[in-house]
Amino acid sequence: MGLESAVQGLLVAVLVGLLIAKLRAPKLKLPPGTVALPIVGNWLQVGDDLNHRNLAEMSKKYGDVFMLKMGQRNLVMVSSPEAAKEVLHTQGTEFGSRERNVVYDILIGNGQDMVFAVYEEDWRKMRRIMTVPFFTSKVVQQSRGTWEDDALRVVEELRTRPEASTTGVVIRNRLNSMMYNSIYRLMFDRRFENEEDPLFLRLKALNGGRSRLAQKGVPGGPGPAPGGLQRTLRGRTQETVRDDGTKPDGEKAAIYLILEAQRKGEISEDNLLYIVENINVAAIETMLWSIEGGVAELVNNPDIQTRVSEELDHTLGKGNLITELDTYNPKHWDQPGRFMPERFSGNNIEVSGGDFRFLPFGSGRRSCRSIIIAMPLLTIVLSRLVQSMGQLSPPGMKKVDVAEKGGQFSRHIATRSTMVCKPIA
């Protein structure tokens, strides 16, 4: 009983101390927000799911700029184009660095990668090194043939699988291997033999374990250790060095150019491995989930799918497959929660970060440079699927489930949805 009383007394003393400290603290002009509890802040109100839909609802109540207290950390939410421009552009230097937690410090070596590195000279150096092998028009021109070939392989394989046009297939699985091949070929100029390739299976397992660890918010637990992915990528990098890293056309594989920067002392070996890991994880996951989400929305909105198919036929000619060369606020958007790609027709809207109503790749100093490869790759895959086969929900279902959950770098469809892909005659 004495111990219980002592614990209760200690708890009361802590709470009183926190209250006194709060009352004595200088009054800061902070954004509005829901009342935060001592110690836990707003965890009990919002939990772990800070998704865009929940935040959009909160912005209706608290305004375009509001604050949540998650434990001892203050989070400020920005929900208007004007405020986004102020944060990402006008005050871009002050907001150039990204907050990390203990899990990400484990995964990225305390900010030695490009995604979470502090906004200073080392980050600018890494970004410059990554631009030439990945983020230029020349890379797109060199890669477009392989992207078109990979998309064609997906379509041809689906055509040969009887269940694809009857009971349906989990299209994420096939898109997964395609995205690994596209990015792996860009990085190392190698491709996986098939979905049973041992290296493909190992990378997929390691990436999955890393993703689960990142979503937990706490270290430990089941799943592959973070170092396993680095060891695998280090081995692949060393093989590329032994092979000289030269493509048949005389160009160097991306990893070779990054290795040259490391040999010159511009980045460390750890920087190199974490950069490769960024590309391996972020590029594959975000593009995979974007394509899957696009296909699912086309299944659930057949009228839009029909219009897309008709527009492609009208523009390119029926039977001509697309090539790379062909290629949230109600105050600003009509019905922002609906899948309405036609909203972009006839509107002067660009996605590269200059229009602060729509920022799929972010904006400012930390915007995603992979837009230059993501846009043509996503367009090719989605268009080829629409041109070649009708995307339908499986028998007995009106729609596929598009409920979302968080990932390492973006949200994605929670359930591996089955979809019917019926070839177009």
Domains of the chain: 31-96 (no CATH), 121-327+367-423 (1.10.630.10)
- d(C-alpha 392, C-alpha 296), whole Å: 9
Instruction: Quote the pLDDT of residue 234.
Output: 64
Dihedral angle over CA of 362, 366, 367, 369, nearest 10: -150
**Is 135 buried (19+), middle (13-18) or exposed (0-12) by CB count in 10 A?**
middle
Instruction: Quote the pLDDT of residue 407.
Output: 57
Instruction: Quote the pLDDT of residue 241.
Output: 54
Give the pairing of strands 73-78 and 411-413: unpaired
State CA 159 to chain mean position distance: 29
Instruction: Quote the pLDDT of residue 185.
Output: 87
The pTM of this model reads 0.78
- d(C-alpha 89, C-alpha 363), whole Å: 7
> Both tokens of residue 419?
């979809």
- Report yes or no: 172 and 416 within 8 Å, Cβ to Cβ: yes
Instruction: Quote the pLDDT of residue 219.
Output: 38
Q: Which residues pair with 405 in a beta bridge?
A: 412
- d(C-alpha 208, C-alpha 227), whole Å: 13
Q: Which residues contact 74 (CB under 8 A, 6 or more apart)?
A: 30, 67, 68
Angle at the Cα of 102 (from 366 to 130), degrees rounded to 5?
30
- Report yes or no: 391 and 361 within 8 Å, Cβ to Cβ: no
Instruction: Quote the pLDDT of residue 78.
Output: 92
- Report yes or no: 192 and 200 within 8 Å, Cβ to Cβ: yes
- The alpha-helical segments, DSSP class H, found in 222-367 are 226-242, 254-263, 269-278, 284-300, 302-316
Instruction: Quote the pLDDT of residue 35.
Output: 85
pLDDT in tens, the chain (425 residues): 566 777 677 777 777 776 676 666 667 788 998 888 877 888 888 876 677 888 888 899 999 999 998 887 888 999 899 999 999 999 988 888 887 777 667 777 777 888 888 888 888 998 898 888 888 888 888 889 989 999 999 999 999 999 999 999 998 888 988 998 988 888 888 888 778 888 888 888 777 776 666 655 543 333 344 556 566 666 666 665 555 545 555 567 888 888 888 889 998 888 888 888 888 777 888 888 899 999 999 999 999 999 999 999 988 888 888 888 877 556 666 777 777 777 777 677 778 888 888 888 888 888 888 888 999 999 999 999 999 999 999 998 989 888 877 655 567 787 888 899 999 87
Instruction: Quote the pLDDT of residue 310.
Output: 92
